[in-house]
Amino acid sequence: MAPTPPSSPPERSQSARIATWVLFALVVFTMLAVFSNDRNAGDEVTYNQYINRLEDGVVEKVTRNSNNGEIRFQLEDDSETVLVTRGPIDVPESEQELLKQVPLPSEENPEAGVDYIAPTQSPFVQLLFVMLPFMLIIGFFVWMQRRAQGQMGGIMSVGRSKAKTYTTERPGTTFDDVAGYAAVKREITEVVDFLKSPERFSEIGARTPKGMLLVGPPGTGKTLIARAVAGEAGVPFMSVTGSDFMEMFVGVGASRVRDLFESARKMGRAIIFIDEIDSIGRKRGAGMGGGHDEREQTLNQMLAEMDGFEASEGIIMMAATNRPDILDPALLRPGRFDRQVVVPLPELEDRKEILAVHLKGKRHESDLDVNVIARGTPGMSGADLANLVNEAALFAVRAGDDKISMRHFDQARDRVLLGIERTSMVQTKEEVERTAYHEAGHALCAAVQDNHDPVHKVTIIPTGMALGVTMTLPTNDRHSMDKDEAEAMMVMAMGGRVAEALVFNESSSGAANDLQQATNIAKRMVTEWGMSEKVGPMALSDSGPVFLGDDMMSNKSGMSADTARLVDEETRRILIEAEDQCRNLLVTYRNGLDLIARALLEHESISGDEVYRLLNLSGAELELPGNTSLTAADAAANTPPPPPQDAVETTPPADLETAE
């Protein structure tokens, strides 16, 4: 639905009409003044021609302007034509003598003779010059008055709600516009039924929730779902963000909350939607302002207003946030936001429907498989999928294609997940060779472990902030992680560093991010997941929500020194075991490591299918996963020709210079 445009204030319309009439009057006066002075100019002649006519005695009528020296005269043989010239203001004696020859007025010709005039300005011009200062003064005072009224109106309206109202007069958003999320739709259908027929619930004595809180990660469509509820129920929808309540003046937030609920009551049945409610609904008492904090006063007023209306009034409060853990407990108690609807990241089936919606209206190949794209985008929200489709369309335009293909989606996914390829970056031969073995180590460790996601793509082209990337894709959506999977991820992260040490007998700074990821996993295994036998089933992590000044008002005791030492020892033990396991894998499949590195040095990018094929050539006997790459065309494009059979033998690193 589109918001109804607000009507113009009557004061502004009246002021505009007055200004229009004043401008019209000025234009009329100016035109009258111009036309009143626009006398018949006549035919222009020179002053000498005028003197010659006087000497010839053919001048019948002369009118001389004493103010500017303008001379108008008529001849005897052509009395209808007025000749105009300009002479000296003071009449010379020679001209005075000649003017005596001009005939005097008579009964036959009363217009003849010489006239000396000193004309004044037009009355309209005089009136204009007299009225102009007064009009300017009056206009100045009117402008000052309007400006003062506007400022006062802005001050008086500062406490009004800034909510945008979506009425039923415009086409609305319904559940058909929300792809996927069938469980969420079923959960909030009760609200739609109540708004459509509240008498069914009141007759039996049932009470519907006053408030519904939509909780989920950013980009999952919480606002769209709230608008769909209003569209399905056919009631007005008032949308406002939490930051709209806050202003520099004290008490403005509470005033806007009162005005918001008052406006909703006037509409009868309505939905009030507050987006990002965590901006005003944070836990009270956590800040330095205490109970006089403006944000807390706004929250108190909202809590009071939610208690002030009955369920039979037909007003439903809906709010959205991605940080429910920091909301005030009083906001979540029964009778207020007593129902939470989780809007999670879309599952596989949801992603299929979302992609189908965003592909509408876009030209794409007939063989475009939405199922394959959805399998290759786990963990993406609805906003991420919309961006993915747009990026694919942009890649199609850049390539000069008239339709979007699977190849464009593969490029778009790499662009979104990995970043921009820095093809212009200059590297030495040693850096490229080291990067090739680094990424080959990652790819090998990911491919030979059963508990790790299959390899999708390996590249040594600098991408984003990395010199190379090894990309893996899960076979299905993962919602939890067991110990074997965590250990497999650490082994894969160690693959690049161990491969460099194995081949070049030294390590580089390129493994900094890998070590950080592995250390983070190992520490969480010990402190959060209870996967250490020595530490036991203890949750030692205190990474909770942080509030301003909260540490000053509460005494959080951390772990003891002995426990911290034990955590460090266990974390180090897990990392060393992962490194030893990684080294054993690389030594066992050393031939495969060299083949993958050779392929990367030759082609820069290879697909996951090619990684498994090269490892099988080295004797690994791995089963090729079914979704290592999104498209067969992409795999064919990135697949190097098969090496000769004798290339399976281990080649020393020194011979790689000829292989390049």
pLDDT higher than 70, residue 125: no
Which amino acid appears at position 607 of this protein?
S
E strands present in 172-314: 211-215, 237-241, 270-275
Confidence of residue 547 (pLDDT cuts 50, 70, 90): very low
CA distance 545 to 527: 17
Contact criterion met (CB below 8 Å) for 260 and 161 = yes
Digit-coded pLDDT (tens) for 37-72: 544 556 788 888 888 888 888 888 888 887 777 888
Nearest C-alpha neighbor of 355 from the set 369, 336, 335, 341: 369
DSSP state of 62: E
State the pLDDT at residue 557.
Answer: 46
State the pLDDT at residue 408.
Answer: 87
Q: Which residue has the higher pLDDT, 576 or 120?
A: 576
Contact criterion met (CB below 8 Å) for 81 and 42 = yes
State the pLDDT at residue 629.
Answer: 42
Nearest C-alpha neighbor of 308 from the set 335, 282, 277, 329: 335
Half-sphere exposure of 494 (CA within 13 A, CB side): 26
State the pLDDT at residue 61.
Answer: 86
State the pLDDT at residue 155.
Answer: 46
All residues at 6 or more sequence positions from 175 whose CB lies less than 8 Å from its CB, including other chains: 185, 228, 232
Confidence of residue 498 (pLDDT cuts 50, 70, 90): very high
Q: Which residue has the higher pLDDT, 157 or 603?
A: 603
**Scanning the structure block, which residue is given the tokens 């290339």?**
647
pLDDT higher than 50, residue 603: yes
Q: Which of 91-105, 187-201, 300-314, 584-598 has the highest mean pLDDT?
A: 584-598
What one-character-per-residue DSSP string does 446-474 give?
A: HHH-TTSPPEEEEE-S-BTTBS-EEEE--
State the pLDDT at residue 579.
Answer: 93
Contact criterion met (CB below 8 Å) for 475 and 454 = yes
Domains of the chain, by residue range, sit at: 43-117, 164-342, 348-417, 429-659
* Sheet with 315-321: strands ordered across: 164-166, 237-241, 270-275, 315-321, 211-215, 339-342
pLDDT higher than 50, residue 407: yes
What one-character-per-residue DSSP string does 505-531 give?
A: SS--GGGHHHHHHHHHHHHHHHHTS--
What topology is assigned to 348-417 in CATH? Answer: Helicase, Ruva Protein; domain 3 (1.10.8)
Q: Which helix (H) or strand (E) holds 195?
A: helix 182-196
pLDDT higher than 50, residue 9: no
DSSP state of 68: T
Tokens of 583: 């080294």
602 catalytic? Reply is no
pLDDT higher than 50, residue 632: no
State the pLDDT at residue 158.
Answer: 47
Estimate to the nearest angstrom the gap between the alpha carbon of 500 and the chain centroid: 42
Tokens of 144: 């000052």
For Cα atoms 101, 102, 106, give the angle at the middle one, nearest 5 degrees. 125
Which amino acid appears at position 25 of this protein?
A
Stretch 130-157: mean pLDDT, rounded? 67
Half-sphere exposure of 311 (CA within 13 A, CB side): 22
CA distance 640 to 167: 60
Confidence of residue 556 (pLDDT cuts 50, 70, 90): very low
Contact criterion met (CB below 8 Å) for 73 and 49 = no
Digit-coded pLDDT (tens) for 299-344: 777 788 777 665 556 677 888 888 888 888 888 888 788 778 888 8
3-state secondary structure of 429: helix
The structural architecture, per CATH, of the domain 164-342 is 3-Layer(aba) Sandwich (3.40)
All residues at 6 or more sequence positions from 325 whose CB lies less than 8 Å from its CB, including other chains: 544, 545
- Name which of 108-122, 209-223, 303-317 the model is least confident about: 303-317
Q: Which residue has the higher pLDDT, 275 or 638?
A: 275
List 421, 439, 487, 610, catalytic entry: 439
Stretch 380-403: mean pLDDT, rounded? 88
State the pLDDT at residue 275.
Answer: 83
CA distance 610 to 622: 12
With 0-12 / 13-18 / 19 or more C-beta atoms within 10 angstroms meaning exposed / middle / buried, residue 94 is exposed
State the pLDDT at residue 520.
Answer: 93
Residue 13: how many other CB atoms lie within 10 Å: 11
The structural architecture, per CATH, of the domain 429-659 is Up-down Bundle (1.20)
Domain covering 43-117 assigned CATH 3.30.720.210 in the classification:
yes
Contact criterion met (CB below 8 Å) for 602 and 446 = no
Q: Which helix (H) or strand (E) holds 70?
A: strand 70-75
pLDDT higher than 70, residue 525: yes
Contact criterion met (CB below 8 Å) for 188 and 343 = no
- 70-75 and 83-86 beta bridge pairing: antiparallel
Contact criterion met (CB below 8 Å) for 83 and 43 = yes
State the pLDDT at residue 60.
Answer: 84
**Scanning the structure block, which residue is given the tokens 């000396």?**
116
Digit-coded pLDDT (tens) for 413-457: 878 877 777 766 777 888 889 999 999 999 999 999 988 888 888
pLDDT higher than 60, residue 654: no
- 113-117 and 164-166 beta bridge pairing: unpaired
State the pLDDT at residue 311.
Answer: 53
The radius of gyration computed from the CA coordinates of the chain, to the nearest angstrom, equals 43
